[in-house]
A and B are shown apart, each in its own frame.
Chain A
Amino acid sequence: MVAAQTAISEVDGAGGRLIYRGGYLIEDLVPCAGFEETAYLLWHGELPNRSQLDAMRQDMVHARKLNDAARGALLAADPSTDPMDMLRTALSAQGSTPTISKPSPADALALTAVVPTIVAGAYRRRQRRDLIDPRDDLGHAANLLWMMDGKEPATERTHWVDTYLTLLADHGLNASTFTARVVASTGSDMTSCVVAAVGALKGPAHGGATYAARSMLDAIGSLENVDTYMEEQHAKHARFPGFGHRVYRTYDPRAKILRELAKTADPKLYQLAAHTEEVALKILHDAHPERPNATNVDFWASVVLTGAGIPKELFTCLFAASRVAGWTAHVLESQEDLRIIRPASQWVGPQPGKKPEPLDKR
C-alpha cells in the first residue's frame, strides 16, 4: 500500500540503491557532503552553497542550547533512564510553546540541532556527571562527541560519526517516518511529529537492531568463537541481528560504505565482525539459497559507532540524531498537500446492539 508520494528519498531495493532528494545516490553524496549539507538538501531540495551552509551552521549554534523546560526534564529523570525516553521527553519539553505553529524549516533545523545536546546530556546523566554545553566553533558531529566527553574529538572520530549520520538520514517510508507523517496530517506541530517518531524508533522492531548487532558481537567475544556461536544460534532458530531486511535484494549500499570505514574505525572489532558476517551469510545461504545477500546497515554501523567511542546504549539515539533530518523533511513535504491520514478498521467484535446489564446484575 502506498501511503505517501515523496521526493525526499527512494529505496531502490532491486538495484541496491538509496537515492536522496535531488536524485543523489548515497555513495555519491557521502564523499561530497556531510550531515549538515545533507539535512539542508532533504529540507530544501538542493545542496547548500557556502554562504547558505555558513548561515545554517550559525542557526544551529543557537538551536543547540537547551531551554529551561528541556533541561528540567533531563535533570528530573533518574540517571539510569533509557536514553530514548530522555530524548522523547526532553524534545517534547524543548518544543513546548504557547501556541501551535505550522511546521517550518526553522523548526526542522531547531529539532535536528538539539538532538545531540539531549543525547549527550542523557549520557552524562547516566554517568552522574554534569552536562556540558555545546561549543559554537564545532560542527554537528563534533559537538555531539564534545558534549559527551568534554574533549575535542579527533577529526577521524568526527568523520565516522558524521558519515553515519549522513547515511541514516532518510530511508523511504519506514515506520517512524510514517508516524511523523500521520501526526503531521492532523495539522499538528513539528515537535509533536518528531516526538512521535522517536517513540516509534524506540521499538526494537524498528530502531533496535544496531544495539542488538553489537550485543551479538559482544556475546561472540573472539574470533575462535564465531563458528560455534553462530551455529548454536541458528540451531535455536534465533535470528542474527544485523542481517536481513525487507527491501534490498543486493548488499545494502550504506552497509558497504560503513564496512570500509569499520576497517580503520575499529580494526579489532572489524576482524571479528568480518568473520561473523562471512559465517552468518554462509549459514543463511545454506538455509535459504534463494534469498539475497543480507548484511544490513545495522551490522556495520555497530562497528563504526563503537570505533567512534559511542557506547551501545546510545546507538538508537544516534539513529534518531540522524533520522530527525529525514523526519522533519517528510513533515515539511507533507505540508504541501495536508490531508488527514485516517485509514479504516475492520470490526471483528460482537454484533452491535446488545444491551448492557446494570452493575448490580453482572
Chain B
Amino acid sequence: MPNSEYVPGLEGIVAAQTEISLVDGANGRLVYRGYVIADLAEDMSFEEVAHLFWHGRLPTRAELDGLAAELSESRNLTDAAATALAAIQSDADPMDVLRSIVSVQGITHRLQKPSLAAAIHATASFPTILAAFHRRRQGLEIVKPRAGLGHAANYLYMLNGQESPPELVRALNTYLVLLADHGMNASTFTARVIASTDSDLASCLVGAIGALKGPAHGGAPSAVLDQLEQIGTPENAERWMRDARKRKERFMGFGHRVYRTYDPRAKILKAMCERLNPKFFALASKVEETALAILHEEHPERPQATNVEFYSAGVLQAIGLPKDLFPPTFAVARVAGWTAHVLEQAAHNRLIRPQSEYIGPEPRKPVPLAERG
C-alpha cells in the first residue's frame, strides 16, 4: 500500500483533480474556472456561473438564452414530488424536505448516468421545492414559477407571491454566485464519492444535501443571528463577548480551515450588508471587530477569520428569508457546484474507497445467547 497512515479528516490528502474551483487560501482567492470571484460576483447571473461550471466557459447570449429556457422548463415540480411534498409534516426541517423531494424528483425506472440535462433539471428545481414547502407551511397557496424571471428572481417570486425589488433580486443573485462552489468541501466530496460508484445524479445530490445539513458545514442557521440578538447593541459587544469567552462560548461566524487572509466572499457580503441591512451592519461590524481583536489576543498566529456565514446572515435577512431557509438556500447555490463536480467525477471515474484501520480486539469466540449474562 502506498500510504497506510491514518489521516484524520483526510486533511491535506488530495482526493480529486478538479477544474471547477480553486480555493487559494494563502492569497485569499476563490477562483471559478480561472476567474477570481470578485470579478464575477457583481456582474454575472447565477445562470452564467452555472454554465461556466458545466461547460468550462461563460455562455454567449444565445447559449445563456438557451439555458434560461431549459431552466424555465425544468422549474415545475413533478407530480410525484408534489404528492410527496403534501405528505411531509409542515414542521419538518426544510433541509429534510429538500433532501426528500430532490430524491423524489430524481426517481427513475432504471439507473441513468449523470448528465447535463439532469444537472439543469435538479438546479432548476431547488427553489421551487423550498418555496412550495414554505408557502404550504404558512397555509398559503403554492405559487408556480413565472416564465421570464431569472433564477434568483423566481425563487423570491415563488416564496412571496410577488416580484421583489431589483436590489434584493440582485443581492440574492450575488449570494448564489458567491456560494456556488468552494473546492473539495465535505458535501462536494460526498457527491463525488457517491458518483464514484457509478450511481445517479439524484443520489449524489441527496447525499450532498445530507452533508450540508451538518452544522459544521452548512451552518447552524440561527447561530449568527441568535448571538447578535443576545449581544443586542454595539455598545454591549465588548463586555458580552469577553464574558462569553470566560464561559468558553464560541463566536458564531468565525474560523475556517483554508483562508490565511480575509475570506473574499465575506468581504463582498460585508459590503452588501452595509448597503442593504444597515441595522444588522452597525451591530455586526462592531461584533466582528471585537471578535477579531479577542481572537487575535488569544491566538496572534492565526489569520483574520470572519467566515462566509457571518455576513451571509445579514444579506439573507435583508432579502427576507426566514432563518431556517438559510441552509437550504446555501444548497440552492451549491447545487451548481455539486452537479459540475459529479459530471467531472463521472468523466474520469475511479471508485473512491479509502481504507480503515482496525482498532478492535483480536478474534475470539462468541457466547451463545442462553449463556450470556
Contact = CB atoms under 8 A, between A and B. Distances in A.
Contacts of B64: 359
A138 interface: no
A343 B13 contact: yes
Contacts of B211: 182-183, 186, 188, 192, 196
B268 to A, nearest CB: 15
A195 B183 contact: no
Interface in A79-94: 80-82, 85-86, 88-89, 92-93
Contacts of A192: 99, 209-211, 213-214
Given A81-B107, A85-B106, A92 B206 contact: yes
A126 to B, nearest CB: 11
Contact of B372 (A28, A47, A98): A47
A221 interface: no
A96 B316 CA distance: 24
A359 B218 CA distance: 32
Interface string A313-342: 000000000000000000000000011111
Interface in A328-362: 338-360, 362
B313 to A, nearest CB: 18
B97 A205 contact: no
Interface residues of A, number: 107
Given A73-B87, A192-B99, A199-B199, A345 B184 contact: yes
A199 B109 contact: no
Interface in A257-286: none
B325 to A, nearest CB: 14
A342 B187 CA distance: 9
A25 B31 CA distance: 50
Contacts of A343: 10-16, 184, 189
Contacts of A235: none
Nearest to B372: A49
Given A5-B359, A183-B211, A187-B216, A345 B15 contact: yes
B84 interface: yes
A342 B9 contact: yes
A344 B353 CA distance: 16
Given A6-B359, A359-B48, A196 B194 contact: yes
Of B110, B185, B363, most buried by chain A (CB within 10 Å of CB) is B363
A37 B369 contact: yes
B92 A96 contact: yes
Contacts of B213: 100, 186, 188-189, 192
Contacts, number: 396
Q: How large is the interface on B (under 10, 10 to 19, 20 to 34, 35 or more residues)?
A: 35 or more
Nearest to A12: B358
A6 B356 contact: yes
A202 interface: yes
A294 B351 CA distance: 19
A33 B371 CA distance: 12
Interface in B1-29: 2-20, 22, 24, 29
B87 A93 contact: yes
Contact of B360 (A1, A22, A69, A96): A22
B249 interface: no
Contacts of B106: 85
A338 B84 CA distance: 33
Interface string B188-221: 0110011111111011101111111111111000
B366 interface: yes
Contacts of B16: 343, 345-346
Given A182-B190, A192-B210, A73 B357 contact: no
A48 interface: yes
B347 interface: no
Contacts of B218: 186
A76 B358 CA distance: 43
B248 interface: no
B108 A32 contact: no
Contacts of B186: 182-183, 185-186, 340-342
Given A5-B357, A19-B363, A93-B88, A356 B13 contact: no
A6 B363 contact: no
B341 to A, nearest CB: 9
A4 B356 contact: yes
Interface string B66-93: 0000000000000111011011110111
Contacts of A37: 369
Interface of A: 1-10, 17, 19, 21-25, 28-29, 32-33, 37, 47-50, 53, 68-69, 71-73, 75-78, 80-82, 85-86, 88-89, 92-93, 95-100, 172-176, 178-179, 182-189, 191-193, 195-207, 246, 338-360, 362
19 contacts: A1-B7, A2-B354, A5-B6, A5-B359, A6-B356, A49-B372, A73-B104, A93-B100, A96-B92, A172-B355, A175-B194, A186-B215, A188-B217, A192-B210, A205-B196, A340-B214, A342-B185, A344-B184, A354-B34
Given A205-B197, A347-B18, 19 more contacts: A4-B354, A7-B361, A24-B363, A77-B80, A78-B109, A82-B111, A85-B107, A92-B103, A95-B96, A172-B356, A204-B111, A246-B353, A343-B13, A344-B14, A345-B15, A346-B16, A358-B43, A359-B58, A360-B61
